[in-house]
Amino acid sequence: MTDGYDCYQNALAERVNGILKVEFLISRPQNLEEARRMVDQSVAIYNGERPHLSLQYKTPDAVQRASQQFQLKSAIRTA
């Protein structure tokens, strides 16, 4: 948590909140359970289907898998 309520103190969380609101949460949820489902679906899309410019138009999941495979291959070579 941050001190006070300055959005600049937690820029990463504010960025994620903005993406959720603008790109994914198009309709207003009727209750907390629906809101949780909508956020879960949005996170899955964000990580698995939405290409990211900063990742050379790859998804975070694809980059994570490639990194894990590279680390595994490196560990096998050094063993």
**Per-residue pLDDT reduced to its tens digit, 11-56:** 888 888 888 888 888 889 999 999 999 989 999 999 999 999 999 9
Query: Residue 59 contacts by C-beta under 8 Å, 6 or more apart in sequence?
Result: 47, 48, 49, 50, 51, 52
Given a contact cutoff of 8 angstroms between Cβ atoms, the answer to whether 58 and 52 are in contact is yes
d(CA 9, CA 50): 26
Q: What's the pLDDT score for residue 40?
A: 93
| Domain-wise residue ranges, the chain | 1-48, 52-79
